[in-house]
Amino acid sequence: MGEPIYKRVLLKLGGETLAAEEGAFGLDQGALTNITEEIREARDLGVEIAIVIGGGNILRGASLSSIGIERTTGDYMGMLATVINGLALQHALESVGIPTRLQSAIEIQAVSEAYVRRRAIRHLEKGRIVIFAGGTGNPYFTTDTAASLRAMEIGAEVIFKATKVDGVYSADPKTDETATKYKELSYLDVLKKGLKVMDSTSVSLCMDNKLPMVVFNFRDKHSIKRVLLGEKLGTTVGVLK
């Protein structure tokens, strides 16, 4: 086995990674087990791992306007959904002996630590997985933006975005047979082409701070470990090592 090419990574997980299948809601034991095994493999390489978790498997704040809930309130509800997912992932990881800390941008002292940058870094240095929930703590910002922000704050070398497709395509490959997969992209390409990698705010943050990203399918076995060991999976955005 080779040496990992990164020491510290930020793993961005959408809420769908904890659901039974694409489009499903709620939590699934099998999905939690699978992602736990993937994270354990990566941690066993000696890599420091922080995670930003989404909440789309529970609810999406931006979609609540259809039932009359204003955007700001809906976004806060979505942030709380990420805390629920963070608790579930923390339990799954600790059940297999992986020390984990949950930090929330919205203070909920009974269930998580408040986000403190220096404390998060210290946890990572001690070999703990750190889960960041609550987004940025502000409405109108997505968990993608939270991932870019937290990655830079903790000094991560790369963002791993685990998705339901095996990279970035020119169009939705499920509805467009002519869609082509990109192996490499610049952040400017993503913005100019309007590609659905991450939202434009998070892409701009990464571009301004030269933080690269790898987009890959989390359902591919050993995908996180393989990328850590240098295998070219999915789509690379920005310049890797």
Q: Which residues contact 43 (CB under 8 A, 6 or more apart)?
A: 49, 98, 127, 129
What's residue 23's pLDDT? 67
Q: Which CATH class is domain 8-157+192-203?
A: alpha beta
Query: Is residue 151 scored above 90 in pLDDT?
Result: yes
Give me the percent of the chain exceeding a pLDDT of 70. Answer: 97
What's residue 98's pLDDT? 97
Mean pLDDT of the chain: 91
**Reduced to 3 DSSP states, what percent helix, strand and coil does the chain have, rounded to the nearest 5?**
40, 20, 45
Supply the DSSP string of 19-30, one letter for each residue. SSSTT--S--HH
What's residue 61's pLDDT? 60
Q: Give the pLDDT confidence of 1-43 residue by residue, as tens digits.
A: 679 999 999 999 988 888 887 667 899 899 999 999 999 999 9
Query: Is residue 239 scored above 80 in pLDDT?
Result: no
Q: Give the pLDDT confidence of 203-232 residue by residue, as tens digits.
A: 999 999 999 999 998 888 899 999 999 898
Q: Which residues contact 58 (CB under 8 A, 6 or more apart)?
A: 15, 25, 26, 81, 84, 85
Query: Is residue 66 scored above 90 in pLDDT?
Result: no
Domain borders along the chain are 8-157+192-203
Kindly report which listed range (30-34, 132-136, 194-198, 208-212) carries the lowest average pLDDT score. 194-198
Instruction: Find the DSSP H helices in the chain.
Output: 29-43, 71-94, 117-125, 143-154, 187-193, 200-208, 223-228
Query: Is residue 164 scored above 90 in pLDDT?
Result: no
53 touches 78 (CB < 8 A):
no
Distance CA 157, CA 95 (A): 28
pTM of the model: 0.93
Query: Is residue 241 scored above 60 in pLDDT?
Result: no
Tokens 């210290």, residue? 122
What are the strands of the beta sheet with 213-217, ordered from one edge?
Answer: 113-114, 100-104, 129-133, 48-53, 8-13, 158-163, 213-217, 235-237, 184-185
